[in-house]
Structure 1
Amino acid sequence: MFEQDPFIIAELSGNHNQDFELAKAMVHAAAKAGVDAIKLQTYTPDTMTLNVRRDEFMVSESDSLWKGDNLYDLYAKASTPWEWHKPLFELAESLGLVAFSSPFDISAVNFLESLNVPIYKIASFEMTDIPLIQAVARTNKPIIMSTGMATFAEIEEAIATIRAIGNNPLTLLKCTSTYPARIEDSNLMTMADLAKRTGCQVGLSDHTQGLGAAVAATALGATAIEKHFVLDRCAGGVDAAFSMEPSEMAALVKACRDAKAALGRVVYGGSEAEQAAKKYRRSIYIAQDLPAGTVLGETHLKIIRPSFGLAPKYWPEVLGKVLKVDAIKGQPLAWNMME
């Protein structure tokens, strides 16, 4: 599904702080960091919620970055203006990046289709929005879907919804839906199990602080890594606390690429690059000058480096053998030297 493996996505989210010039600078910085794609989120506060001030429309979790915020106000602050999408996508594409978005309702799907996005992302909280998933599936575009808090039954239902409409290439992302997420809550073995049980490509939407989870996911077979991105955490941004700065993103890209390269393939007997080093194994050598007719004993021979003599496993067999030629110290022992 992706040209790069792993396919590394910088999620801009609302870290642009409603500043279009900052959003463009983020795209440039993401490209310089070496990511493969940038992703936006396509919604308005009105497509996400209602402008209601009752308690259930407030963020109440004590450990939330957004505790005390009204949902409508939060989404207004975090949204990316729809008129920015086209110029940001064009900028990203001019820099060699894939550019796409997460729609949060059907109107967003229709809008993104007008921009001919190449991929769609279903956010973890929208995994149970079957009408939205159906609308995305009908585009016949590849789909990336974060699983978040979904049960396996809910994941199966979402996959079945897509498959009932088309055969969209589908990648499932393991995602811990806390912000930031603790590294110990990553449970990356779930990602590997998802691949086994669904046959889909898998990856990680990572809300942890740091790159450890992303590297581990790559080693477990992730073909896509998504990470939130910010120019400067200290300058703020709705997701800044769990977003990577450019230097950190560049380090993540390198670490994931290195982890993927390190997996390689199944090889026994050493790689091609190791073959020359085999001469530094041990073997049996003549330890002193010896005349023909010498009955070889332990004082006459030594197991040393390099490896041009007989292998050490033949030590019991050569003891007691008779030399049929003169031998000098430092000469590798060979079968044709003995009777």
Structure 2
Amino acid sequence: MMTIDGRPVGPGHPPYIVAEMSGNHNGDIGRALAILDAAKAAGADSVKLQTYRADTITIDHDGPDFRVGKGLWEGQRLYDLYQDAHTPWEWHEPLFRHAREIGITIFSAPFDPTAVELLESLDAPVYKIASSEIVDIPLIRLVARTGKPLILSTGMATFEEIEEAVAAAREAGAKEIAVLHCISAYPTPIERANLSNIPDLAARLGTVVGLSDHSMGTLASTVAIGLGASLIEKHFTLARADGGVDSAFSLEPAELATLVADTCAAQAALGTPVYGPTEAEQDSLRFRRSLYVVADVKKGETITEASVRSIRPAHGLLPKYLDAVLGRKASRDLKRGEAFKADMVEGGVPGA
């Protein structure tokens, strides 16, 4: 279990829902503030930023190594993409202030030591290490040394890389760690979500586990809760039609509200292992089958399949006693519609 800004996160607690703003502010702080409001209204627990500058995450270079290959941003220069998507340093304080005023947690994924320094000055309650940074062990150690809870995304990572990152965080002092299964494809085809990694990560790492979900819609996230995820992260925008670097695979406000409701329902539906009729099933017990007299029988007459059958409701002997009843003599007159009881045959029914 871990605690984020006073909220317990882990098995037995409601799913923790993170709305990822990323670059969906489209360079407008007013829109960024509106995203905070919309996430709060939809029921998300927190909003996550990404804290970097284009110059701290890459360099301004035109070489082929510095261009995006296939996918949503194909052909773009890394520097230009990050310049468009980044959240300006000077926005952080008003965004953190506004989030606290409206009562939603705000935190960020830092991408270099200067980002950690900024976020520490704002008393960020938790940190996220993005998938591409899971191999940046110095950054993980730096973040872990803050003593704050740490969330690690695992997109593209081998298990050995995940294990190394978790070990580095623990060695540097991180006590509360969540590991998010993630597929770094934008968007992720649902058939490639590979959600079976979630219970495997939980069993092998002993951490809180969750899903950083880049698939379309809310299905993968809801299924993930049933597999043991405690934390869900989804990209969020006011409207996909407004465009933006991540808008194509982001949820809109009504969809985020659906995600919150469906994941909470999925978690509630898990329950605990129990057999036998539950409280909700008590009224349905009478609709089970049992043995009933379906034709009048005189005392001393032989009981046959024409006179006793297994039917609904369930006030007579269990159907398994039918063979023990057939061919026996009636101990009294039996009337059609009577629930068949053990004392209705001469000598009774053994075991009933």
Task: Report the TM range for the smaller structure's normalisation.
Answer: over 0.9
* Aligned with residue 260 of structure 1, among 249, 262, 267: 267
In the alignment, which residue of structure 1 is the partner of 2:293? Answer: 286
Alignment correspondent of 1:53: 62
Per the TM alignment, residue 309 of structure 1 is displaced from its structure 2 partner at its CA by 0.4
- Alpha-carbon shift at residue 130 of structure 1 (Å): 1.1
AA aligned opposite 2:39: A
Q: Distance in 2 between matches of 1:144 and 1:181?
A: 20
CA distance in 2, matches of 1:26, 1:316: 69
For residues 228-248 of structure 1, what are the alpha-carbon distances to aligned partners after superposition, in whole Å with 9 as ceiling and x for unaligned? 001111110110111111111
Task: Give the superposition deviation at 1:67.
Answer: 2.1
1:103-142 equivalence runs, <5 A: 103-142=110-149
- Aligned positions of 1:7-46 closer than 5 A: 7-46=16-55
How far residue 337 of structure 1 moved from its aligned partner, in angstroms, is 2.5
- The alpha carbon displacement at 1:222 in A equals 0.7
3-state secondary structure, aligned to 1:244: coil
Please tell me the residue identity of whatever aligns with 2:25.
H
Could you tell which deviates more after superposition, 307-316 or 150-159? 150-159
| 1:127-185 C-alpha deviation (Å, 9 max, x unpaired) | 01111101110011111100111111111111111111224211111111121222222
Alpha-carbon deviation of 1:13?
Answer: 0.4
Amino acid at match of 1:172: V
Letter in 2 for 1:194: L
TM-score, structure 1 length as denominator? 0.95
Alignment equivalent of 1:6, drawn from 15, 38, 43: 15
Q: Give the drift of 1:326.
A: 2.4
TM-score computed with the length of structure 2 as normaliser:
0.92
CA distance in 1, matches of 2:258, 2:332: 62
Distance 2:100 2:17 in 1: 15
Extract structure 1 runs of 4+ deviating beyond 6 A. none
Where 2:74 maps in the other structure, the secondary structure is coil
| SS of the residue 1:41 aligns to | strand
Q: Which residue does 1:180 correspond to in 2?
A: 187
Aligned-residue RMSD, C-alpha? 1.5
The share of aligned pairs that are identical, in percent, is 51
1:251-275 C-alpha deviation (Å, 9 max, x unpaired): 2222222222222111211321112
C-alpha distance in 2, partners of 1:298/1:177? 65
Question: Counterpart of 2:231 in structure 1: which amino acid?
Answer: A
Residues 53-78 of structure 1: CA deviation (Å, up to 9, x unaligned): 2232222x1x3222232222211111
Partner Cα distance (1:323, 1:185) in 2: 65
Aligned partner of 2:214 among 207, 214, 218:
207
**Alignment-derived partner of residue 78 in structure 1:** 85
**Equivalent residue runs for 1:181-330 within 5 Å:** 181-330=188-337
1:323 CA displacement: 2.2
Counterpart-to-counterpart distance in 1, 2:273 and 2:171: 38
- Secondary structure, in 3 states, of the residue corresponding to 1:100? strand
- 5+ residue gaps, structure 2, are 3-7, 347-352
Matched, 1:65 2:72: yes
Which whole-Å CA distance do the structure 1 matches of 2:174 and 2:51 have between them?
24
Residue 338 (structure 2) aligns with: 331
In the aligned structure 2, how far is the partner of 1:34 from the partner of 1:297?
Answer: 63
Residue aligned with 1:178, SS: coil
Distance 2:59 2:193 in 1: 32
C-alpha deviation, 1:318, in angstroms? 0.9
Mapped partners of 1:93, 1:320: distance in 2: 79
CA–CA separation in structure 1 for the residues paired with 2:48 and 2:15: 16
Number of positions where the alignment pairs a residue of Structure 1 with one of Structure 2: 337
Q: CA deviation at 1:41?
A: 0.6
CA distance in 2, matches of 1:167, 1:142: 7
Residues 188-221 of structure 1: CA distance to partner in whole angstroms, max 9, x if unpaired?
1122211111111211111111222112211111
What is the rounded CA distance, in whole Å, between the counterparts of 2:304 and 2:187 in structure 1? 69
